[in-house]
Structure 1
Amino acid sequence: MGGDARRDGLLVVRCQLGERDAFRELVRAWHAPLWRYVRGMVGSTHLADDLVQEVWVAVLRGLPRLREPERFAPWLFTIARRAIADHLRRSYQAAETSVAEAEAVAVDDDPLDGVLTTMQIEAGLYGLPPLEREVLVLFHLQDLPLTSCAEVLGVPPGTVKSRLHRARRMLRAVLVERGYEI
């Protein structure tokens, strides 16, 4: 992950005071985690590059108004989430004839037994609907705590827990279907 909240908060304050080097340090610390999150959500390297650039522009514009500098990480991922949602909205409007079939994923009722590796999670992510994929990316691949996931997603922590539970079951079904032994 990018770094600790205290260091990020200090960098944000330095950015707000006009220090360009501080922004470069924030980008250096958070670019890779941000890119992995966006790439995990959109599935395309080139599209992830474009969206991450949009996010950094929005961050640069919004930093002066960030009132809680120590909350930089959830704020950053919230901006990224909006950029992804805007892109998806534009894509869906452009392809009006396509029908979403993400709801047709088979789910079994067995709880997930064992621990998944990052590689297994990434292998099965694209078989999941966006809400379930997003909660797995934030929690497992970005290592955001439950409360930060809730803040990014704009839902209560209990909702994050239930989405995680459902997403893990769905991911298990996708991975079993692809031949992974779980």
Structure 2
Amino acid sequence: MNEDRHNGLLLVVRCQLGEREAFSELVRVWHTPLWRYVRSMVGSPDIADDLAQEAWVAVVRGFPRLRQPERFAPWLFTIARRTVVDHLRQAYTAQATSAAEGEAVADHDDSSSGVLNTMEIEAGLSDLPPLEREALILFHLQDLSLAACAEVLGVPPGTVKSRLHRARRMLRDVLIEKGYEA
């Protein structure tokens, strides 16, 4: 793990120096976790594609300002979070001004299996309030530390802990309500 972390740090520094091959490798390593986070927050794969692209553009523009390359993961997810928040704010504004455009679409896929798969968990996540959903995604699905989650969310670690506790309880209740054993 230490070697991976060291290689990741070198990769970020190489990107800051303008090496295109390094940026391609960085995207290869981080695009899927970034996309999953964004997808979990917005619900739509198509919108997630667009927002992930926006986040990568912001990363490229922001590299000169990244003073601590070892803090790349929280920095990346902070950029992604801002991109998602901007999108959700615009969507909310559009929905408020035009009630006809404000339809929520949810796909519910009935599964005969008793085992929870990723899609079923994501369906449960989509029923959680944004703050709790985001804490769960960053901590459990993106494997960020409590401190890194706090940095991304801009709140103290204690707040992240209470959001995680609340989110786990809410997710369990949502999954039980949908007929899954938690």
The CA distance in 1 between the partners of 2:48 and 2:38, in whole Å, is: 6
Partner of 1:44: 44
Partner of 1:112: none
The CA distance in 2 between the partners of 1:163 and 1:136, in whole Å, is: 8
The CA distance in 1 between the partners of 2:78 and 2:7, in whole Å, is: 19
The CA distance in 1 between the partners of 2:144 and 2:180, in whole Å, is: 26
Q: CA 1:23–1:49 in structure 2 vs 1: closer, same or farther (change >3 Å)? A: same
Partner of 1:156: 156
**1:63 aligned to 2:46?**
no
Aligned pairs for 1:43-122 within 5 A: 43-96=43-96, 119=118, 121-122=121-122
Contact map agreement 1:139 1:149 (CA 8 A) in 2:
yes
Highest RCO, 1 vs 2 (Cα 8 Å, sep ≥ 6)? 1
Partner of 2:33: 33
The CA distance in 2 between the partners of 1:129 and 1:121, in whole Å, is: 15
Q: TM-score, normalised by structure 1?
A: 0.84
Aligned CA RMSD, in angstroms, stands at 1.8
Contact map agreement 2:38 2:80 (CA 8 A) in 1:
yes
Which runs of 5 or more structure 2 residues have no equivalent in the other structure? Answer: 100-114
The CA distance in 2 between the partners of 1:160 and 1:51, in whole Å, is: 24
More displaced stretch, 143-152 vs 38-47: 143-152
More displaced stretch, 69-78 vs 144-153: 144-153
| Displacement of 1:16 | 1.6
The CA distance in 2 between the partners of 1:179 and 1:117, in whole Å, is: 11
| Displacement of 1:144 | 1.1
Partner of 2:110: none
The CA distance in 2 between the partners of 1:127 and 1:91, in whole Å, is: 18
| Displacement of 1:117 | 6.2
Over the matched positions of the two proteins, sequence identity in percent amounts to: 73
Partner of 1:7: 7
The CA distance in 2 between the partners of 1:96 and 1:41, in whole Å, is: 20
The CA distance in 2 between the partners of 1:19 and 1:31, in whole Å, is: 18
Aligned partner letter, 1:34: L
Contact map agreement 1:55 1:83 (CA 8 A) in 2:
yes
Contact map agreement 1:118 1:141 (CA 8 A) in 2:
no
Contact map agreement 2:116 2:180 (CA 8 A) in 1:
no
Q: TM-score, normalised by structure 2?
A: 0.84
